[in-house]
């Protein structure tokens, strides 16, 4: 199981039209990620981290090359198939939390399970478990506006993992958090990675996040320039292709 690649890209490129020229956001990216990894794309702003994460999350399609995610070829998925894949098997964590403001904490975390059509009793159990993991079980009835940024991001993590997805994608999850909260949510995710064997992929330029990664893929101008194992605070399970 550990040896199977959960993500595999081949000559993945993404270009955006930019006036008369084209902007190469990703340039022949070849990458393989094994199940259970806790890795991050790092690099300066504009290096293509978000673009790569979005393609892996089936939110965007490559311009050329291929990306296989959870056994599915991203480039040939229809909008509906991509949505289904995300709904069933991928969790997202965003820099700006992206909680639904009119919903309570409970309802936010419950949302992915509603989409999956789970019955109310099982939903409740799963939601409360997820809130327990992130330490917010006592805030279930609060609205996002009543929470701190760190708490919001923990709710977002709970929402991402409540359906026990195989893959969680997190784009700059700590960018809006202070140091204490950043460490808190990273520790939460490390633990989830250990306990649930969930694969985590980050996009970040935050040193605090990097400290937890057991693999760092450095991007510059859309290319992978470095791919290194490491991370003193993480569990040791790095597998390079």
Position of tokens 């977002």? Answer: 156
Q: Which stretch binds Mg ion (CB under 5 A): 46-54, 64-72, 116-124, 193-201?
A: 46-54
Residue among 87 and 225 whose Cβ is closer to another protein: 87
Binding mask 87-126 for ligand ATP (x = CB under 6 A): ----------------------------------------
- What residue 149 binds from Mg ion, ligand ATP, another protein, none (CB within 5 to 8 A, per partner kind)? none
Q: Coil, strand, or helix at residue 103?
A: coil
Tell me the sheet residues that pair with 108.
Answer: none
Among 9, 35, 47, 50, binds Mg ion (CB under 5 A): 50
Site membership for ligand ATP, residue 51 (CB under 6 A): yes
Closest distance of CB 59 from ligand ATP, Å:
11
Residue among 84 and 233 whose Cβ is closer to another protein: 84
Among 46, 77, 196, 218, binds ligand ATP (CB under 6 A): 46
R_g of the chain computed on alpha carbons: 17
Cα 228 to Cα 107, 154, 172, 210: the distances in Å are 39, 28, 19, 11
Position of tokens 């159990």? Answer: 125
Residue among 93 and 203 whose Cβ is closer to ligand ATP: 203
The dihedral sign for the CA sequence 140, 146, 147, 152 = positive
Site membership for Mg ion, residue 108 (CB under 5 A): no
Closest distance of CB 96 from another protein, Å:
7
- What residue 112 binds from Mg ion, another protein, ligand ATP, none (CB within 5 to 8 A, per partner kind)? another protein
Question: CB neighbours (10 Å) of residue 49?
Answer: 26
Binding site for another protein (CB under 8 A): 54, 57, 59-60, 79-80, 83-88, 92, 94, 96, 98, 100-103, 107, 111-112, 114-115, 117, 159
219, 23 contact by CB (below 8 A) = no
Tell me the sheet residues that pair with 68.
Answer: 8, 73
DSSP class of residue 36? T
Q: How far apart, in whole angstroms, are the C-alpha atoms of residue 170 and residue 93?
A: 4
């Amino acid at each position: 199981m550990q040896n199977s690649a959960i993500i595999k890209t081949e000559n993945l490129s993404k270009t955006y039209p930019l006036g008369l020229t084209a902007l190469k956001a990703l340039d022949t990216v070849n990458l393989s990620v094994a199940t259970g990894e806790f890795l991050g794309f790092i690099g300066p702003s504009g290096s293509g981290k978000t673009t790569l994460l979005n393609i892996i999350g089936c939110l965007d399609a490559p311009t050329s090359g291929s990306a296989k995610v959870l056994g599915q070829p991203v480039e040939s998925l229809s909008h509906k198939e991509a949505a289904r894949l995300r709904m069933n098997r991928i969790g997202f964590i965003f820099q700006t939390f992206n909680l639904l403001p009119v919903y309570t904490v409970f309802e936010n975390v419950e949302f992915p399970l509603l989409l999956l059509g789970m019955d109310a009793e099982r939903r409740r159990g799963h939601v409360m478990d997820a809130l327990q993991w992130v330490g917010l079980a006592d805030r279930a009835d609060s609205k996002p506006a009543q929470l701190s940024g760190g708490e919001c991001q923990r709710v977002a993590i709970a929402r991402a993992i409540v359906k026990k997805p195989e893959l969680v994608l997190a784009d700059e999850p700590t960018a809006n958090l202070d140091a204490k909260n950043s460490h808190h949510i990273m520790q939460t995710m490390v633990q989830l990675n250990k306990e649930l064997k969930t694969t985590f992929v980050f996009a970040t330029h935050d040193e605090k996040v990097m400290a937890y990664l057991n693999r760092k893929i450095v991007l510059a101008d859309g290319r992978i320039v470095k791919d290194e194992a490491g991370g003193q605070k993480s569990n040791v399970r790095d597998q390079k292709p």
